[in-house]
Amino acid sequence: MSAQSNCCPTRGSAPRNAIIPRPRIVDTWFYEVIAMIFSLMCFSGIIAALMVYDDKPAPGFSYGLTLNAIISLLAAASKSSLIFVIAECIGQLKWLWFYQPGEKKTLDEMQLFDDASRGPMGSISVIWRHRGRSLVSLGAVITVLAFAFDPFMQQIISYPIRNTVVATNSSEAVVKRATSLVLEFFSDDELESIVYPGQWADNVDFTATCPSGNCMWPEFQSVEICHQCDDATAAFSLKCPRSVFNTSDNRPREQEFLCEILDSLSGEPLGYSGASTLDDLYRDDLIDIEIRKHFLLTRYGVDYASTNWSEVTFAGLRNPQYVVIHIELVLADDANLTGISPFENMGPILTIGKVDQCAFALCSRTNQVSVTNGIPSVVKSAPDYGETFYVNGSTGEVLHGISAAELGLEERERIAEWVRPCWKAGTGGPPASLTQLAGSGTWVNTSELAFCGIDDYWRLTLFTDGSEYWGWKMQNKSQWVNQTEYHDSTAAKVLRDGLEKSMSNIAASLNRAALLSSNQSVYGTVFQGETYVSVNWIWILLPTALVLLSVCFLPLTILANRLQRLHLWKSSILAVLFHGLDEVDFSDDAKRVDTVRQMERAAEDIRVRLKRRSRRRGLVLEQT
């Protein structure tokens, strides 16, 4: 045998007259190619399923099978086939590594390659030892990264919930829209049932009909009562003239002392009095004195009276329909009460502490209404306070050119009997025409949110006026004893929550009543909650990269092996048994090989090369 034949153990070195056996499938790359194709098919199936069901309703399969289960099954099949191919390629590269001429290899690298074909720990060792200088490093990298294959696949699919349209402009999704707010539509009892619950309730909920719990309506305008409050203390003053209590006949009697709260707007007193009762002059001159401490009054209300035709502004609102004030009186100086007698003068005792006012005015707002998971939401625009115009109450004819500021008192009194004040949303003058509601003297124009009958808001006085009192007793005309406080229900509510909160609740109650009594409805869109498939494609990049690297790794290994014309031993243990280390000198007692550790240490010092030993035996690892 020539030297060339001894060092080149190729499959073509057999004698010419020898019968070359037909290679079996195991001696080819058939299984690896099939496994790689199978892995590609499974992974392609994953991609196809994700593309088909992405952003689609969550599918339901027979026997309770889910899309996640299908993806997991395909991913497991793809990964296991991929790992099989990589392990076989690393096994074959092991023999190629020892077959390469040149630098001698240590025997422990045989174990290194074997560990790399089994899992990530051995692959990390290969990466560290080879530093990318060999093809096996690519297989080691794929093996290590394959550890994250399953977690990444599990992150690809999520199942959020979205709303899908069930019906549009549906009569099942309804909100009311108020096109007018006229108090004359409500009797006193009805008005009481509206105002009192609102006054005492902390919240007045907006009502919407939505069977699915998820609905949305187009924007719409609705008429409301808007309110605004401010501090009006500077506009009021208190005047208490000297009063004289008659004690000439020594008999019990009740007598009022008069104090006046002056409003700078009108210059007229609001009218306020306290009562003193002379119980028994023979019993140390004991006197009961009642002094109003807090009281709620109507400062202004639109009615038929000609005095209300003037242009006025309260709390920043021009020509409101109704104004409520809360006046608080305080004792001027508690230390000086001694010696001050209501028989002589109440002036030094009382002073105005604070005055708050709230104005109600008609307005319109643009509403954005939605219901999400059964919870209604209303987003309102800034209020449009519109403008006032006048009509002939009998004919509904719009009266142009009437300005309250330009009319004289005599003219206002003359026409007040048949002119009705009206209101409309927006600006640009009164509507072209109005229609009289059946069974009512009210004129309306629904399309322009215009209506008359805005002159009876004074009726709210029945529900907003109230007082709280001090009760005092005085002995010997100068000694104050036994102070008590008592109030009515209206004052109690305001004192508890404040004027603005109470008036806000009343306005909300009136608005809700206007909506419930309206025959104008807005129809919305009904949504149904739907679970759908959401694919986060970023998570599939790593699995895709692993599959593509494996597709490249297999043909590169096949090509490297074809260039060396080496038999396909791959990871077969039989190759080690039949072509293992031969003629190793174990005479040195220091090199015992009883245990795995001893074998590893011995292998580090043994230099070997895969070489043809004989024609019959073929290749053998030979110590060099």
SS (H, E, C) 81-133: HHHHHHHHHHHHHHHHHHHCCCCCEECHHHHHHHHHCCCHHHHHHHHHHHCCC
Buried b (16+ CB within 10 A) or exposed e, 543-555: beebbebbbebbe
Backbone region of residue 472 per phi and psi (left: phi > 0; alpha: psi in -120 to 50; beta: other values):
beta
Contacting residues for 99 by C-beta, under 8 A, at least 6 apart: 9, 564, 566, 609, 610, 619
Give 467's strand partners: 295
In a domain, 283, yes or no: yes
At 403, list the tokens: 């300005």
In a domain, 349, yes or no: yes
CA dihedral 68, 74, 77, 79 (to 10 degrees): -80
Q: For residues 204 and 511, what is the distance between their CA atoms, to the nearest angstrom? A: 10
Give, in order, the Cα–Cα distances in Å from 186 to each of 81, 191, 194, 512.
81, 6, 9, 13
In a domain, 615, yes or no: yes
CB 111 within 8 A of CB 603: yes
Q: What are phi and psi of 536, to 5 degrees?
A: -95, 95
Q: For residues 277 and 290, what is the distance between their CA atoms, to the nearest angstrom? A: 8
Give 471's strand partners: 290, 484
Q: Which amino acid is at 227?
A: H
Q: For 263-314, what is each residue's pLDDT tens digit?
A: 876 666 666 655 554 444 444 455 666 677 788 888 776 654 434 455 778 8
Q: For 166-209, what is each residue's pLDDT tens digit?
A: 888 888 889 999 999 888 888 888 888 888 777 666 555 567 88
Give, in order, the Cα–Cα distances in Å from 454 to each of 140, 319, 345, 399.
87, 11, 44, 16
Beta strands in 213-348, from DSSP E residues, in sequence order: 215-216, 220-231, 236-239, 253-263, 272-280, 286-301, 313-314, 317-318, 322-331
Q: Note whether 509 and 550 are same-domain residues.
A: no
At 599, list the tokens: 């074998």
Place of tokens 């919305």: 524
Q: Note whether 331 and 468 are same-domain residues.
A: yes
Which one, of 435, 426, 488, 423, lies nearest residue 462 by Cα? Answer: 488
pTM over 0.95: no
Q: Note whether 476 and 433 are same-domain residues.
A: yes
Give 596's strand partners: none
Tell me the three state secondary structure of residue 262.
strand
Q: Note whether 438 and 343 are same-domain residues.
A: yes
Q: For residues 571 and 84, what is the distance between their CA atoms, to the nearest angstrom? A: 11
Q: For residues 123 and 140, what is the distance between their CA atoms, to the nearest angstrom? A: 4
Give, in order, the Cα–Cα distances in Å from 386 to each of 212, 307, 310, 390, 424.
37, 22, 17, 14, 6
Q: Note whether 309 and 452 are same-domain residues.
A: yes
What pLDDT is recorded for position 15? 47
Place of tokens 């007040």: 416
Q: Which domain holds residue 106?
A: 25-156+536-571
In a domain, 16, yes or no: no
Q: Note whether 518 and 563 are same-domain residues.
A: no
Q: Note whether 462 and 593 are same-domain residues.
A: no
Q: How many CB atoms neighbour CB 377 within 10 A?
A: 12
Q: For residues 610 and 613, what is the distance between their CA atoms, to the nearest angstrom? A: 9
In a domain, 578, yes or no: no
Q: Note whether 125 and 267 are same-domain residues.
A: no
At 203, list the tokens: 């919240």
What pLDDT is recorded for position 533? 94
In a domain, 178, yes or no: no
Burial class of residue 297, CB neighbours in 10 A (0-12, 13-18, 19+): buried
Which one, of 155, 113, 157, 163, lies nearest residue 135 by Cα? Answer: 113
Burial class of residue 270, CB neighbours in 10 A (0-12, 13-18, 19+): middle
Look at residues 459, 492, 526 and tell me which one is the last residue of a structural domain.
Answer: 526
Contacting residues for 117 by C-beta, under 8 A, at least 6 apart: 86, 87, 88, 90, 91, 94, 143, 571
Q: What are phi and psi of 272, to 5 degrees?
A: -150, 140
Q: Note whether 548 and 456 are same-domain residues.
A: no
Q: Note whether 349 and 421 are same-domain residues.
A: yes
Give, in order, the Cα–Cα distances in Å from 396 to each of 42, 234, 302, 522.
80, 42, 20, 28
CA atoms within 13 A on the CB side of 191: 17
* Ranges of the chain with pLDDT below 50: 1-21, 277-284, 304-308, 335, 594, 596
Q: Note whether 434 and 516 are same-domain residues.
A: yes
Q: Note whether 615 and 566 are same-domain residues.
A: no
What pLDDT is recorded for position 489? 66
Number of domains observed in the structure of the chain:
3
In this structure, are strands 322-331 and 286-301 parallel, antiparallel, or unpaired?
Answer: antiparallel
Q: For residues 569 and 14, what is the distance between their CA atoms, to the nearest angstrom? A: 18
Q: What are phi and psi of 609, to 5 degrees?
A: -150, 140
At 412, list the tokens: 């206002």
CA atoms within 13 A on the CB side of 567: 20
Q: What are phi and psi of 565, to 5 degrees?
A: 55, 45
Q: For residues 98 and 95, what is the distance between their CA atoms, to the nearest angstrom? A: 5
Q: What are phi and psi of 369, to 5 degrees?
A: -110, 135
Which one, of 301, 320, 452, lies nearest residue 389 by Cα? Answer: 452
SS (H, E, C) 199-232: HHCCCCCCCCECCCCCEECCCEEEEEEEEEEEEC
What pLDDT is recorded for position 296? 83
In a domain, 197, yes or no: no
In a domain, 321, yes or no: yes
